[in-house]
């Protein structure tokens, strides 16, 4: 098939996206597909081989059979590009507009999980305007989460803008940093136990991979640990009891369904003994050589090339199904 792989994007995760997109292109080309390298610049311009791409509603994308967005963060993973692809009327890999937007917003995601009774870490949201107007009051309210806490921009990934705080001063600095990236931040209580991740693929009948355990030499799973060779080690299967491992897989599929995801996702957990807490869901997980998503399915018996082909197949199936409805 003719497949347009979208990489880059406007967010601070631009470089990671380019690395992920290169890995996807290589895998698809190895499977015999005609692959188009569509790059989205930091200012949002789409180009192919250095030439700007003309986008016309309802006219598809470069005569591609399917688009494969490998875009991380805002303007790529948050429903905006998905909406563009809907307007172009081209099948695309991954979650649709609503699920993408919902999962990108860490606070809205956690609110949905709470409503559904899904176990998760204690957390609180902080609005930039209120933080500027009432810093002391916000810090006093956040004391209920204990220490340490982790502070994150609401709508970024790849550990960009995230800070760990063990004192009130560090918390204030971390909030300033996170709110430089986003109008809202989320503050999460520290969770004990292991960091465990589980990949999910599918459309109508999602399937979870074998869960893997993240081990790092750093204090916590920051940007350098994620993307520096040797910064983290993935242990597969995760060193947890069999029944807990199955609980992780069940929750991963349940969360995938709750959010209305399609195609692929990686669900992150904290596991402490028998307790399993959902942390977040990534609708476009990394595809770099150090990324977990593909490694977990490879360990589950699905090699990288086959995994990419399945994702393309899910995109085509969903596009055909959704176009069968009257709007």
Q: List residues with catalytic annotation.
A: 13, 158, 227, 266, 268, 280, 282, 286
- State the Cα–Cα distance between residues 203 and 196, nearest whole angstrom: 23
H or E element at residue 299: helix 292-299
- State the Cα–Cα distance between residues 71 and 287, nearest whole angstrom: 10
Q: Contacts by 228-235 with C-beta closer than 8 Å and gap 24+?
A: 228/290, 229/290, 231/290, 232/290, 234/292, 234/295, 234/296
Pairing label, strands 263-272, 194-202: antiparallel
**What order of strands is seen across the sheet that includes strand 123-127?**
123-127, 184-189, 149-153, 163-165
- State the Cα–Cα distance between residues 254 and 276, nearest whole angstrom: 13
């Amino acid at each position: 098939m003719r497949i347009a792989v979208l990489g880059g994007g406007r967010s601070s995760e631009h470089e990671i996206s380019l690395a992920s997109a290169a890995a996807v292109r290589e895998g698809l080309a190895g499977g015999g597909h005609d692959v188009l390298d569509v790059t989205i610049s930091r200012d949002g311009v789409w180009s192919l081989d250095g030439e700007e791409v003309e986008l016309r509603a309802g006219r598809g994308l470069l005569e591609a059979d399917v688009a494969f967005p490998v875009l991380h963060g805002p303007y790529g993973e948050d429903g905006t590009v998905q909406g563009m692809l809907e307007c172009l009327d081209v099948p695309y890999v991954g979650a649709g507009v609503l699920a993408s937007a919902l999962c990108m917003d860490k606070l809205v995601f956690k609110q949905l999980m709470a409503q559904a009774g899904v176990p998760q870490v204690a957390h609180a949201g902080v609005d930039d305007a209120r933080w500027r107007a009432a810093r002391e009051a916000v810090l006093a309210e956040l004391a209920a989460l204990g220490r340490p806490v982790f502070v994150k921009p609401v709508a970024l990934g790849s550990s960009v803008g995230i800070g760990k705080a063990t004192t009130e001063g560090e918390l204030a600095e971390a909030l300033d940093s996170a709110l430089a990236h986003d109008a809202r931040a989320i503050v999460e209580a520290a969770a004990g136990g292991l960091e465990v991740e589980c990949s999910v693929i599918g459309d109508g009948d999602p399937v979870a991979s074998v869960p893997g355990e993240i081990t790092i030499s750093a204090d916590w799973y920051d940007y350098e640990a994620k993307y520096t060779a040797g910064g983290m080690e993935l242990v597969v299967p995760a060193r947890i009891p069999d029944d807990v491992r199955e609980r992780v897989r069940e929750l991963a599929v349940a969360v995938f369904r709750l959010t209305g995801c399609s195609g692929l996702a990686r669900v992150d957990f904290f596991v402490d003994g028998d307790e399993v807490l959902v942390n977040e869901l990534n609708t476009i997980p990394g595809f770099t050589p150090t990324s977990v998503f593909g490694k977990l399915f490879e360990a589950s018996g699905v090699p990288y090339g086959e995994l990419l082909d399945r994702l393309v197949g899910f995109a085509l199936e969903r596009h055909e199904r959704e176009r069968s409805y009257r709007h």
